[in-house]
Structure 1
Amino acid sequence: MSNQSTSALPGYLAEEILLNPEKREFPPFDLSRLLGTVFKPTQGCKVCILTDFEDPKDLIKDFAFLGEEGFEVQKNAYKYFYEGLKEGVLDELGITGGEMFAYRYTYGSNLDMADEVWDTDGNQLSLDKDIYSVYDIVLCISTWSATAPLTAKCKEFNFRGATMHGMNDVILSSGLAVDYEEVSADAEKIRLAMTRADSIEIDFELEDGTILTADLELGGQEAQKSHGLCQGTKPDIANLPAGEIYYVPKNANGKFPMKYEDGTLGVLDVVNRDVVKSTLIEGNQATIDEHNARLADDPMTGTLGELGFGTQVLPVSYQDIQDEKVLGTCHLATGRDDHLGGDIVPDMFKKHENSTHDDILFAPHKTPNFNVKEVRMNRGDQKEVIIENFRPSRFIIDAIAS
């Protein structure tokens, strides 16, 4: 990288930091700054916190979960958000409320939530009647993402909110400690550089040198951004940590690798936007067979609903909610995409539990078995490289520096 383009970059995206993300320094987590920036204005708003448990009634009553092993996400919600609100942030921001409620695990990314919810006295309430209809800002800090169902609910009940699933100490000290005005500005620069693309081609390089290519048709659509700001009064949900630009694919064909949770590596064949089969490269054949059986039983589970690119320089958190926001990474997602403006809705799946939105992240720590060798954008006669070997290309760096 030359200094010609990077000299105009903000300090937190300087050349040295772009090449060595671990060198970026972050300010301390500040709940008042986070909420004040994300939800401006806040004066007069009533806020609450939602979290989730397998058995919410007993664990949320009198905050019983604080005395139990585990529950890192829920304990962080209590320590950094519930206590933070009660210890001065409510007054600082001119907001009221601060109550904490718990609903049942959904056991899947972006699955609709049951209506039952419990307060800290152990009383059963209704999400629709007692939460969405009452609170202006809903902070959902949960095990599984609730962005899709809350996006639908906020439009129905006219509230704003943020989803922060998988929150751990790394996320608190980095992805939630940043200035979201800066995050939004950087995301917009990259969005403008990539909007109205006709297609994106991704070359994946396996360890033996084999190149797999996925071709995603975008139809010249406007790129969208997840930038962390949910300001004004319009109902909206911010997905935090934020920092990505994304598209809803119109079509897709080709192949891409996938590393399963047990470490098995497979190649996925995509035809007309649908993952139609997985083939084993290494690992457990039973894992591949299980995926193929799921695709055969409910083909909608393999429909590609998102193509996203990270726009921030952040440390690895080992939670996809942050790691997919890292500049130089990209991700695909299968399943519902109605919360992104797409056409895949829960009713199209064979079973409720199938209507998830599942991200497939390509990042060095997540997929060390293969490399994102090159990502190319086609827009009319213009052809630009977007990513090279998990690094932002000159085109993207120049866009940020503009």
Structure 2
Amino acid sequence: MSPASPALPDYLAEEILLHPENRQFPPFDLVSLLGTVFEPTQGCRVCILTDFEDPAPLIKNFTFLTKEGFPVQKKAHEAFYQALHGGAMEALGMNGGEMFAYRTTHGSNLDLQDEVWDTQGQRLSLDADIYPHYDIILCISTWSATAPLTAKCKEFGFRGATLHGLNDIILSSGLAVDYHEVSADAERIRLAMTRADDIEIDFELEDGRVLTAWLGLAQQEAQKSHGLCNGTAPDVANLPAGEVYFVPTDANGHFPMKYEDGTLGVLTVKDRCIIQSELIAGNPATIEAHNARLADDPMTGTLGELGFGTQVLPVSGADIQDEKVLGTCHLATGRDDHLGGDIVPDMFKKHENSTHDDILFAPHKTPNFNVKEVRMNRGGTQEVIIENFRPSRYIIDALAGGRD
């Protein structure tokens, strides 16, 4: 990559792009974050949702704070609940600040059960007692709740943010940025990619093989996850934000997969669906289990998203941030109704299958293979988007566009 344009900010300089862990961030400030993301009006009511396997005894009197574990929930209490009551609500003209807990879903973007408990141990209803009575809902949980809360916000009229997997790195980097800048950068990349005909991704394996996945996009308008949720319309932001994404209309080819236990497989995609996994290395039982799931409920293999990170951030160990890193891309299987797609929970054989599961391709996540090149075809022109997990010159030039 040639040196970055002088018009680019420091965080897009080449040495920072190569080593994003060296980027400097201001201290996390909840007033700044909520003020930028939501621009809350005077008297706006805010609350926090979190999740536990057995919520009632743990949320009562904040008992979970005295127990081992629960790092996300404890961080929600420390960085959000205490900060709200320590002056943030007053500074923003907000009120409320209550914390509630629901049952862990055990799956990404699965619908939430309606039961919820307050810090006095009282059982309440999300539909009756929470959604209609709060203007801003912050969901800081183990599993992502973006899809179900996006549906609920349209029904009940609230705004919100989902921050699953919250940790100290995310607080000190992905939530410490200026979301006006994040939004502007995401829009620049969105404009550079919108209405693409298709995307081709070359994956280079350790043995030298190159797999290619083709994703048809049918000239759709690219969408962005940019963190700003400051209009009057119901909306839910996924934080940290910084992503341009599409809902594939078709897909064919092959791509590698690194499973949670480290097993490596090659996935075959036909007509937008993963139809088979083949073992590269690791545990054959992992591949057999995936193939059995695909055979039992083929909808679990449907590709529902293609996304590209737009921020320069350090690796956090949580995909909610790491998929937003510039130079990475991700696919997702399963429901995509929250992205404007056509895959809804009722289409799955079982409720627990109706997840939205991201497959992130990033150096720290998938060191066994390289995203050698990502190409965009649009209107008879081909542009390289990513080269070896780095943004291409085309993307860097797009980020420079419109700057003084």
Which residue does 2:228 correspond to in 1? 229
- Which residue of structure 2 aligns with residue 218 of structure 1? 217
C-alpha contact (below 8 Å) 1:309/1:328 kept by paired residues:
yes
- 1:350 match: 349
1:23 is matched with 22
1:187: Cα distance to partner? 0.3
Report what 1:39 is aligned to: 38
SS of corresponding position for 2:248: coil
Aligned to 2:71: 72
Q: Check the 8 A contact 2:38/2:229 in 1, yes or no.
A: yes
| Equivalent residue number for residue 2 of structure 1 | 2
User: Aligned-pair RMSD on alpha carbons?
Assistant: 0.7
Write out per-residue CA displacement over residues 61-103 of structure 1, whole angstroms, 9 at most, x where no aligned residue.
Answer: 0000000001000000000100000000011000000000000
Q: Are residue 193 (structure 1) and residue 192 (structure 2) matched?
A: yes
- 1:41 & 1:181 partners in 2: Cα distance? 15
Aligned to 2:369: 370
Q: How many residues align?
A: 401
Q: How many Å apart are 1:380 and its aligned residue?
A: 1.4
**Corresponding residue for 1:335?**
334
CA-to-aligned-CA distance 1:314-346 (integer Å, 9 cap, x gap): 000111000000000000000000000000000
**CA positional deviation for 1:19:** 2.0
- Give 1:141's aligned residue: 140
Whole-angstrom distance in 2 between the partners of 1:2 and 1:353: 47
Tell me the amino acid that sits aligned with residue 340 of structure 1: L
> Counterpart in 1 of 2:11?
12
Q: How does 1:155-174 map to 2 (within 5 A)?
A: 155-174=154-173
* 1:142-178: CA deviation from partner (whole Å, max 9, x where unpaired): 0000000000000000000000000011101100111
Partner AA of 2:379 in structure 1:
G
Which secondary structure does the structure 2 equivalent of 1:177 belong to?
A: coil
Secondary structure (helix, strand or coil) at the match of 2:195 reads coil
- CA distance in 1 between partners of 2:85 and 2:67 (Å): 23
Task: For residue 40 of structure 1, report the CA deviation from its aligned partner.
Answer: 1.1
Q: Deviations over 1:273-295 (max 9, x none)?
A: 00000000000000000000000
| 3-state SS, counterpart of residue 6 of structure 1 | coil
Contact 1:26 1:173 in 2 (8 A): yes
TM-score, scaled to structure 1: 0.99
The answer for the alignment partner of 1:53 in structure 2 is 52
Q: Structure 2 regions of 5+ residues with no counterpart?
A: none
Cross-structure match for 2:81: 82
Distance in 1, Cα, partners of 2:17 & 2:216:
29
Q: Secondary structure at the match of 1:171?
A: helix
The CA distance in 1 between the partners of 2:156 and 2:381, in whole Å, is: 43
Q: Do the aligned partners of 2:160 and 2:236 also contact (CA within 8 Å) in 1?
A: yes
Shift of 1:108: 0.1
Match in the other structure for 1:310: 309
Query: What's 2:387 paired with?
Result: 388
Q: Secondary structure at the match of 1:149?
A: helix
- Asked if the contact 1:36/1:42 (under 8 Å) is kept, the reply is no
Report the Cα offset of residue 232 of structure 1: 1.9
Q: Distance in 2 between matches of 1:15 and 1:353?
A: 43
Q: Name the % identity.
A: 79
In structure 1, distance between residues paired with 2:41 and 2:384: 41
Q: Separation in 2 of the partners of 1:152 and 1:299?
A: 24
- The one-letter code sitting in structure 1 at the alignment partner of 2:287 is I
Equivalence for 1:152: 151
- The secondary structure found in structure 2 opposite 1:249 is coil
- Tell me if structure 2 keeps the 8 A contact 1:52–1:103: yes
SS of match in other structure, 2:133:
coil
Which residue type is aligned with residue 24 of structure 2?
Answer: E
Which range is displaced more, 11-20 or 97-106? 11-20
Match of 2:108 in 1: 109
- The residue that corresponds to 1:252 in the other structure is 251
In 1, Cα distance between the equivalents of 2:41 and 2:274? 43
Q: Is the CA contact 1:183–1:227 (under 8 Å) kept in the aligned structure 2?
A: yes
Gap runs ≥5 in structure 1: none
Q: What letter corresponds to residue 168 of structure 2 in structure 1?
A: D
- Cα distance between partner residues in 2 of 1:82 and 1:22: 28
Are the equivalent residues in 1 in contact too, given 2:40–2:94 (CA < 8 A)? no
